[in-house]
Structure 1
Amino acid sequence: MTDDNRERVEAHTTPASTEAPAIGTLVVDEARKRLGVVMDDVGGRLQIRPPSGGREWDADPVHVRSAREDEILRVRVAATAAMVQGRSL
């Protein structure tokens, strides 16, 4: 993971809150049991992408919550490990 990608992951990690997640927030889609970053809000549905990049999916905001500190840490550890091993996350 490049320094630029790591900064994006770190910038997109916020603690859990009761408000709807903002674009760029690291979230958990409870319906799919997936972790991702909110990329957009279109037609009342959130578009979420895995933290390491990849294909977005649509999620009902009712089933989405901000990631907890332990989940945020897991993403940061994975990004750091990928960087140390010389591969992209």
Structure 2
Amino acid sequence: MTDAAARTPRPDRAELERTRLPVGQLAHDTRQERRGIVMDHQDGFVWLRPEGGGTEWTACPGDVHPLNVREQAEALMWARVASANARSRGEVL
């Protein structure tokens, strides 16, 4: 371990809890350039699942950020379009 790493204070548990994204929040993983829904916080990682479902992946908490207002509105719009398309095909939602 380098001297700088040894001197760098680790965030305390209260700080981590305050900055933690809530489960269900739509977020962006900047390292993988993917959007997903926060499913859990476990073992120092954030567990994310793709918006449309699929296999979860893990990300470091520092790489996961909430979507801004415009991105959230866009995601909601596409969800509504998908729902309307499914209804028009007679699919059960």
| More deviation, 18-27/34-43 | 18-27
- State the shift of 1:20 in Å: 2.1
**Which aligned segments of 4 or more residues in structure 1 are displaced greater than 3 angstroms?**
none
SS at match of 1:75: helix
TM-score, reference length from structure 2: 0.69
- State the shift of 1:25 in Å: 1.1
* 2:85 is the counterpart of 1:82: no
Identity of aligned residues (%): 31
What are structure 1's unaligned runs of at least 5 residues?
1-17
Report which of the two structures shows the higher radius of gyration computed on alpha carbons: 2
Question: Using the alignment, how far apart are the partners of 2:59 and 2:48 within structure 1?
Answer: 7
TM-score, reference length from structure 1: 0.72
The equivalent residue for 1:35 is: 35
Q: Which has the higher helix share?
A: 2
How many matched pairs?
71
AA matched with 1:31: R
What are structure 2's unaligned runs of at least 5 residues?
1-17
Question: Using the alignment, how far apart are the partners of 1:52 and 1:70 within structure 2?
Answer: 19
The equivalent residue for 1:52 is: 52
- State the shift of 1:33 in Å: 0.8
Q: Which structure exhibits the higher relative contact order, with contacts defined as CA atoms closer than 8 Å and separated by 6 or more residues?
A: 1
